[in-house]
Chains A and B, each alone.
Chain A
Amino acid sequence: MTRKQRRMTIIGGSLAVLALAAALVLNALRDSIVFFSTPTMVAEKHVAPGKRFRLGGLVQPGSLQRGDNLAVTFEVADGGAKLPVAYKGILPDLFREGQGVVAEGVLDANGVFKADTVLAKHDETYMPKDVADALKKQGHWKDDYGKVSDRGKPAATTAQGNPQGAVQ
């Protein structure tokens, strides 16, 4: 084999592996990614039952109900719309009424979101970033949402508008 042929072998091999990887990625992108929605977006877009997505919003205060054998139902709200969520299992440590939550699952025929995972991907402000951004975009962001952990300042300020959103 000449030097050139050897080089072509290596380049050909590299291209083959790259093509394989590209094919794998494109194939995976078709059905393995999960979109993020808020209850308002779900209401507007009429998400089909059975389509997997992530639902983010605030747990509606007073909506949490515990059933038999670890079944729980609660509502996720974003200020514009509400969506009932059913989940079976143990809720994460950081799950609270009135605070942010992200759940992954599908809508059933009755319009109930059947979650199979409830994520606790919070930072120390108890607000998932996805939820915070979505709320800011919809104009429902309240300045005190991000400061729940600040025990010295209970949620007293309810100023509308989004001073934090302006920085983004």
Chain B
Amino acid sequence: MIAETGHYALVLALGLALIQSIVPLIGARLRDDALMNVARSTALAQLLFVGASFIALVTLHVVSDFSVANVYENSHSMKPLLYKITGVWGNHEGSMLLWVSILALFGGLVAALGNNLPLSLRAHVLAVQAWIASAFYLFILVTSNPFLRIANPPIEGRDLNPVLQDIGLAVHPPMLYLGYVGFSISFSFAIAALMEGRIDAAWARWVRPWTLVAWIFLTLGIAMGSYWAYYELGWGGWWFWDPVENASLMPWLAGTALLHSALVMEKRNALKVWTILLSILTFSLSLLGTFLVRSGVITSVHAFATDPTRGVFILLILCLFIGGSLSLFAGRAGSLKQGGLFAPISREGALVLNNLLLTVACAVVLFGTLYPLAMELLADFKMSVGAPFYNLTFAPLFTLLLLAVPFGPMLAWKRGDLLGVTQRLLAAGVAGLVVIAIVWAWTRGGSALAPLAIGLGVFVIAGAMTDLAERTGLFRLPFATTLHRARGLPRSAWGSVFAHAGLGVALIGIVCETTWNSEYIATMKQNDVAHVAGYDVKLDGLFQRQGPNFREMIAEFNVSHEGETLSVMTPSKRSFTTRGSSTTEAALLTRGASQLYISLGDATAEGAIAVRIYHKPLVLLIWWGPVLMAFGGMLSLSDRRLRVGAPKPARAKQRLQPAE
């Protein structure tokens, strides 16, 4: 009964989406407020029905109703409750349902919070949202129905892929989808603007918070996924340039560019056409990511069971939306008025450079992702494009970008003074050079690039601090004035400082981890001691334990540093009986930002076990960086000028805010 209700709710949502696709547009043509307002009700009702459908699927998983194929294939009655719930999106059908649920959530939010939007703009935006929603509802109902019943229900399920039975599954996909799907809002706004043929700074003010929300979630989602891969896969790697990872990185790069170009549009009414194009491209890349992951073109833990019809269906959706939106753009972009002149050396110019480097870096990743696929199709040979390719292409482009980051926020709008900015960044530059010298002296004979890269990271962080110091008049003015100014600084200014500093932090983490990572691989017997980066790791013994739906072998290690016992680490190897597969659960010991990492291999007949121990210096900075970026994004989002649905601030108050 629950399954049928869920299915029916989804069909109703499709019906509502179809109405929402057409009626508001007719209303906008006829200037009929009532018809345009239909969009608001249908968007909210859609959210209600898709939500009901999603809750139905969750309920089926929680009560382990194995008469539903989706539950049978991905669940087990002995599975812990948390994984019964997260297992809902640990498979193709369920994850698509999550996708449309989040799409409906965003649509509902626009409907609920968009009261200050011009009526016709809101009608257009919601109609475009409904086109996307209809396509994906159809996709689910036709090719991936999660509510299908099995004629002869089995008594036990086949369990969820053990790699996915982790808290990471509870966080990573929803975050990532909030990011991916969140960009549909800026896409809808862009299409609406093209259809209306009207776009102004207010448009950017509405789009920017939505883009920011999506960007924050995408940033956290990517970081979370990377950390999850790091501790779950047991090889200590955190980024593999896997096509599936690239699929999430590309919208992030384009979305970051969009965030910055929307800033130019909002503040200076320039770069309109470009911003529109970026909005379209960002969501197109999200769709491409969905296609790559869901169609089975690529095999990975992300591509669940594959089915050619699904691939073809998503490819059709992809072509329809990307082709359609780009044609509309080509036809209408010329009619948008250009505005806002600026010199190449100016804040606008710096943001253009930011956009240029980000989009080109994104294009490089796109090339690296699609080139092997294209070669396979056209030339019929297989190859792989991995880290060496991206180190030679992506890294230099990003280095240029990072060099430019501290300059951007300090240049004035319209016409900047590069020499003056360089002088003001002198301290940051010196800090970077000093760090390069220290690191180089300390690790003499090592990689020459690592100290330079760390110096660059320090320069980016110090540059962000300099920007802050300049704005608040730190060291120039009395401390009380500085404090007062700091309090009066717009939150978005604080946000950009944190986000930019986060980039530097992540860079330092990446460089330290890849350069000074120490690794120890050997077979260990009881009471053997391994020496890794100053730590003594002693194997105390091996134990067996029975988990809810697995058996695990735990190795107990005693870790000491210079004779002082620090902790006991217990990595384990789990074998899941239902699927007959096993996973490695690594043990992590955090010391400051560094980590000691132990994962297990196979046990030999003599009671010894293969062990892999890593010491990863400053590895946590890799994820603290994105967390800082996301925090910066949230600060910026809380800025009252940007708050979603907030009334415009009074004129007088706006004038009092310090210039940026």
Which A residues lie at the B interface, using CB under 8 A? 1, 3, 6, 9-10, 13-14, 17-18, 20-21, 24-25, 27-29, 31-36, 54, 66, 69-70, 89-91, 93-94, 120-125, 128-130, 133-134, 149, 151, 167-168
Residue numbers in B under 8 Å from A130 (CB-CB): 299, 382
Among A9, A20, A129, which residue has its beta carbon within 8 angstroms of that of B299?
A129
B359 to chain A, nearest CB (A): 9
Among A10, A28, A167, which residue has its beta carbon within 8 angstroms of that of B344?
A10
Residues of B362-376 whose CB lies within 8 A of A: 363-364, 367, 371-372
Q: For the complex, give the distance between the alpha carbons of A149 and B580 in Å.
A: 8
| B602 located at the interface, meaning its Cβ lies under 8 Å from any Cβ of chain A in the complex | yes
| B521 located at the interface, meaning its Cβ lies under 8 Å from any Cβ of chain A in the complex | yes
B271 to chain A, nearest CB (A): 10
Residue numbers in B under 8 Å from A25 (CB-CB): 364, 367, 393
Most chain A CB within 10 A, of B296, B364, B391, is at B364
The 15 sampled A-B contact pairs (Cβ below 8 Å) are A21-B363, A21-B364, A21-B397, A24-B397, A28-B388, A29-B371, A34-B384, A36-B382, A36-B384, A70-B522, A89-B521, A90-B601, A91-B601, A121-B300, A130-B299
Interface contact B300-A27, CB-CB below 8 Å: no
| B151 located at the interface, meaning its Cβ lies under 8 Å from any Cβ of chain A in the complex | no
Interface contact A28-B392, CB-CB below 8 Å: yes
| B301 located at the interface, meaning its Cβ lies under 8 Å from any Cβ of chain A in the complex | yes
Q: For the complex, give the distance between the alpha carbons of A149 and B344 in Å.
A: 60
| B610 located at the interface, meaning its Cβ lies under 8 Å from any Cβ of chain A in the complex | yes
Interface contact B360-A129, CB-CB below 8 Å: no
Q: For the complex, give the distance between the alpha carbons of A129 and B234 in Å.
A: 22
Residues of B344-361 whose CB lies within 8 A of A: 344, 349, 352-353, 356-357, 360-361
Interface size class of B (residues with CB under 8 A): 35 or more
Closest 7 CB pairs of A and B: A90-B601, A36-B382, A32-B388, A129-B299, A28-B392, A32-B389, A24-B393
Q: For the complex, give the distance between the alpha carbons of A129 and B295 in Å.
A: 13
Interface contact A93-B583, CB-CB below 8 Å: yes
A147 to chain B, nearest CB (A): 11
Among A6, A31, A66, A70, which residue has its beta carbon within 8 angstroms of that of B521?
A70
Q: For the complex, give the distance between the alpha carbons of A161 and B505 in Å.
A: 55
B231 to chain A, nearest CB (A): 14
B48 to chain A, nearest CB (A): 34
| B305 located at the interface, meaning its Cβ lies under 8 Å from any Cβ of chain A in the complex | yes
Given contacts A25-B364, A25-B393, contact A69 B356 (CB under 8 A): no
In the complex, the chain B residue whose C-beta lies closest to that of A37 is: B382
Q: For the complex, give the distance between the alpha carbons of A128 and B612 in Å.
A: 25
A90-B599, A93-B582, A123-B300 provided; 10 other pairs, C-beta below 8 A? A3-B341, A17-B357, A20-B397, A28-B388, A35-B383, A69-B522, A70-B523, A89-B521, A90-B612, A123-B306
| B144 located at the interface, meaning its Cβ lies under 8 Å from any Cβ of chain A in the complex | no
In the complex, the chain A residue whose C-beta lies closest to that of B309 is: A167
In the complex, the chain A residue whose C-beta lies closest to that of B381 is: A35
Q: For the complex, give the distance between the alpha carbons of A123 and B389 in Å.
A: 25
Most chain B CB within 10 A, of A1, A6, A32, A122, is at A32
| B298 located at the interface, meaning its Cβ lies under 8 Å from any Cβ of chain A in the complex | yes
Among A6, A21, A66, A120, which residue has its beta carbon within 8 angstroms of that of B393?
A21
Q: For the complex, give the distance between the alpha carbons of A93 and B580 in Å.
A: 11
Residue numbers in A under 8 Å from B580 (CB-CB): 149, 151
A89 to chain B, nearest CB (A): 6
Among B298, B360, B522, B602, which residue has its beta carbon within 8 angstroms of that of A21?
B360
Residue numbers in A under 8 Å from B388 (CB-CB): 28, 31-32
| B604 located at the interface, meaning its Cβ lies under 8 Å from any Cβ of chain A in the complex | yes
Residue numbers in B under 8 Å from A6 (CB-CB): 341-344
| B412 located at the interface, meaning its Cβ lies under 8 Å from any Cβ of chain A in the complex | no
Interface contact A70-B601, CB-CB below 8 Å: yes
| B396 located at the interface, meaning its Cβ lies under 8 Å from any Cβ of chain A in the complex | yes
Residue numbers in A under 8 Å from B242 (CB-CB): 121
B486 to chain A, nearest CB (A): 35
Among B308, B356, B392, B583, which residue has its beta carbon within 8 angstroms of that of A32?
B392
A21 to chain B, nearest CB (A): 5
B346 to chain A, nearest CB (A): 10
In the complex, the chain B residue whose C-beta lies closest to that of A123 is: B299
Interface contact B356-A17, CB-CB below 8 Å: yes
Residue numbers in B under 8 Å from A32 (CB-CB): 385-386, 388-389, 391-392
Interface contact A93-B584, CB-CB below 8 Å: yes
Most chain B CB within 10 A, of A31, A33, A149, is at A33
Residue numbers in A under 8 Å from B360 (CB-CB): 17-18, 21
B19 to chain A, nearest CB (A): 37
Interface contact A24-B364, CB-CB below 8 Å: yes
Interface contact A36-B299, CB-CB below 8 Å: no
Among B361, B389, B583, which residue has its beta carbon within 8 angstroms of that of A29?
B389
Q: For the complex, give the distance between the alpha carbons of A36 and B373 in Å.
A: 13
Given contacts A6-B341, A6-B343, A90-B602, contact A33 B357 (CB under 8 A): no
Residue numbers in A under 8 Å from B115 (CB-CB): none
| B624 located at the interface, meaning its Cβ lies under 8 Å from any Cβ of chain A in the complex | no
In the complex, the chain B residue whose C-beta lies closest to that of A126 is: B581
Interface contact A13-B364, CB-CB below 8 Å: no
| B529 located at the interface, meaning its Cβ lies under 8 Å from any Cβ of chain A in the complex | no
In the complex, the chain B residue whose C-beta lies closest to that of A38 is: B382
Q: For the complex, give the distance between the alpha carbons of A149 and B161 in Å.
A: 11
In the complex, the chain A residue whose C-beta lies closest to that of B519 is: A89
Q: For the complex, give the distance between the alpha carbons of A151 and B363 in Å.
A: 43
Among B308, B367, B602, which residue has its beta carbon within 8 angstroms of that of A91?
B602
Q: For the complex, give the distance between the alpha carbons of A24 and B400 in Å.
A: 13
Among B304, B344, B381, B382, which residue has its beta carbon within 8 angstroms of that of A9?
B344
B585 to chain A, nearest CB (A): 11
Residue numbers in B under 8 Å from A134 (CB-CB): 382
In the complex, the chain B residue whose C-beta lies closest to that of A168 is: B308
| B531 located at the interface, meaning its Cβ lies under 8 Å from any Cβ of chain A in the complex | no
Most chain B CB within 10 A, of A9, A69, A123, A151, is at A123
Given contacts A24-B396, A70-B601, A94-B581, contact A33 B356 (CB under 8 A): no
B386 to chain A, nearest CB (A): 7
A81 to chain B, nearest CB (A): 17
In the complex, the chain A residue whose C-beta lies closest to that of B574 is: A93
Q: For the complex, give the distance between the alpha carbons of A36 and B381 in Å.
A: 8
In the complex, the chain B residue whose C-beta lies closest to that of A29 is: B389
In the complex, the chain A residue whose C-beta lies closest to that of B73 is: A124
Residue numbers in B under 8 Å from A20 (CB-CB): 396-397
Interface contact B579-A10, CB-CB below 8 Å: no
Encoded as 1 (CB less than 8 Å from any A CB) or 0, chain B from 314 to 358 comes to 000000000000000000000000000111100001001100110
In the complex, the chain A residue whose C-beta lies closest to that of B388 is: A32
Among B305, B342, B349, B385, which residue has its beta carbon within 8 angstroms of that of A124?
B305
Residue numbers in B under 8 Å from A54 (CB-CB): 382-384
B629 to chain A, nearest CB (A): 23
Residue numbers in A under 8 Å from B305 (CB-CB): 123-125
A47 to chain B, nearest CB (A): 13
Interface contact B364-A129, CB-CB below 8 Å: no
Interface contact B579-A149, CB-CB below 8 Å: yes
Interface contact B389-A33, CB-CB below 8 Å: yes
Interface contact B308-A167, CB-CB below 8 Å: yes
Among A34, A94, A129, A167, which residue has its beta carbon within 8 angstroms of that of B383?
A34
